Amino acid sequence: MKLKRFTTQLVAAGLIAAPLLAHAAGLGKLSVTSALGQPLAAEIELFAADKAELDSLAANLASDQAFRDARVDYAPVLSSLRFAVEKKPNGKAVLKVTSSRPVNDPFIDMLVELNWASGRLVREYTMLLDPPGMVTQQTVAPVAVTVTPPVAPVAKPAVAPAPAPKAQTTPSPVAPKAPAPAPEARKPAAAAAPAPSPAPQADMPSLVKIKRGDTLVGIANRVRPAGVSLEQTLLGLYRENAQAFDGNMNRMKAGKSLNVPTAEKVAAIPQKEAVREIKLQAEDWRAYRQKLAGAVSAAPEAKPAPDQASSGKITPKVEDRAKPAPEAQKDVLKLSKVTPPTAGKSADETRALQEKLRAQEADATAREKALKESSQRVAVLEKQIEDMQKLVEMKEKALKKEATPAEPAPAPKPEPAPVPEAAAPIPAPTVAVT
């Protein structure tokens, strides 16, 4: 009897708290409008009960501790993100997310922290970036997981009695992600806006040929059946056509054909498993790009020696052709035979690699300059120390001279007395004789 009364009180408390949570602020769908290799430009829907609550909203990137607790990698580009709450002409509030430098990673995870007068919310988003040639509307596929705040346990009783409305919405993977507050309950309706992007089941091709410049995200958006997420479609295509990839879903082989899996196969893939697999693939892709960048940066140092040796054995003309090293490097980058691993890459990915290489070269130049300045400072300090040692030695010599008694000055020699001159003889008086 006591247990029944306690259960009744708990349900009543949940029902009382539900209207309060329904008016709490929240974060909605993420829309990315920028492309790979460009500064980030994205929007996140904001929900607020009234204007006063909207005015008190403040968003920023979550703390390092929050990233560690959620086991989310902190990408370097996240340090340049800026968040601003703006209001659109239609009256809807959005959170603008921009970056001050280009984003070269196709997948980025971030934790957004939203604070307002009466609460706080932390939410995880996974952004997918396409090359510049793709349509920006196709990239609007947010992967958001709420880091449950303290009110999440109270919200569960309010959501439990209403599973039927969620089952009627087309994007099935969004339903488990929507938390209890009413702003999040409105998320499926917002997600249904880009409904034309999934291909209809009747018009879906069963085979897609990979053309040069195509990306898996672009193909997945074209063949994605209704009711499944972009992540499930990506993983379904990758698993169905392992032979068309070079060990990673970001390295498709041009000219191969992709078998499009059925909607049942794609829907059978759990959403969490798809997101986790995409993150692992993105980490492998970053490691591959770093390795490739290191190999390309080391290539100019290794190529001149064999070219000069072989040119000396053949003819002087070959030696003349081998001298301009920069032109040879340009030709090598244009030939697909020299770089078979990057044959299937698009020009935009190559441009991103070149930008990364230029950044590394600038880094190396800055380090060399700093090293030269340091060596110059060391030389100046050594000279100052040497001058100080000389001054110390001079002072020591001066002190020694002051300590030793001075020798008496030699007495002046007496000057000889002047010798008196001899007096001239006086002539004798003469006597006159008469």
Query: What amino acid is encoded at 223 in this protein?
Result: V
Integer Cα distance of 68 and 380 in angstroms: 46
User: Which residues lie closer than 8 Å to 163 by C-beta, 6 or more apart?
Assistant: none
The answer to whether the beta carbons of residues 235 and 154 sit under 8 Å apart is no
Digit-by-digit pLDDT tens for the chain (434 residues) are 444 444 444 444 444 344 444 446 788 889 888 888 889 999 999 887 678 888 888 999 999 999 999 888 888 889 999 999 998 888 888 999 999 999 888 888 899 999 988 888 899 998 888 777 654 443 333 444 444 444 443 333 433 333 333 333 333 333 334 343 433 333 333 333 333 444 455 566 788 889 887 888 888 888 888 888 888 998 999 999 989 888 888 888 888 889 999 999 999 999 989 888 888 888 887 777 777 767 655 655 555 545 444 444 444 444 444 444 444 444 555 555 544 454 445 677 777 888 888 888 888 888 888 888 888 888 888 888 988 888 888 888 888 887 776 666 666 666 666 655 555 555 555 555 54
Strand partners, 107: 128
User: Which tokens go with 154?
Assistant: 């109270």
Q: Where are the domains of the chain?
A: 23-188, 198-298, 303-345, 350-383
- CA–CA separation, 133 and 35 (whole Å): 8
The pLDDT value recorded for residue 83 is 94
CB 36 within 8 Å of CB 103 = yes
pLDDT value at position 122? 92
3-state secondary structure labels for all residues of the chain = CHHHHHHHHHHHHHHHHHHHHHCCCEEEEEEECCCCCCEEEEEEEEECCCHHHHHCCEEEECCHHHHHHHCCCCCHHHHHEEEEEEECCCCCEEEEEEEEEECCCCEEEEEEEEEECCEEEEEEEEEECCCCCCCHHHHCCCEEEEECCCCHHHHHHHHCCCHHHHHHCCCHHHHHHCCCCHHHHCHHHHHCCCCCCCCCCCCCCCEEECCCCCCHHHHHHHHCCCCCCHHHHHHHHHHHCHHHECCCCCCECCCCEEECCCHHHHHCCCHHHHHHHHHHHHHHHHHHHHHHHHHHHHHHHHCHHHHHHHHHHCCHHHHHHHCCHHHHHHHHHHCCCCCHHHCCCCHHHHHHHHHHHHHHHHHHHHHHHHHHHHHHHHHHHHHHHHHHHHHHHHHHHHHHHHHCCCCCCCCCCCCCCCCCCCCCCCCCCCCCCC
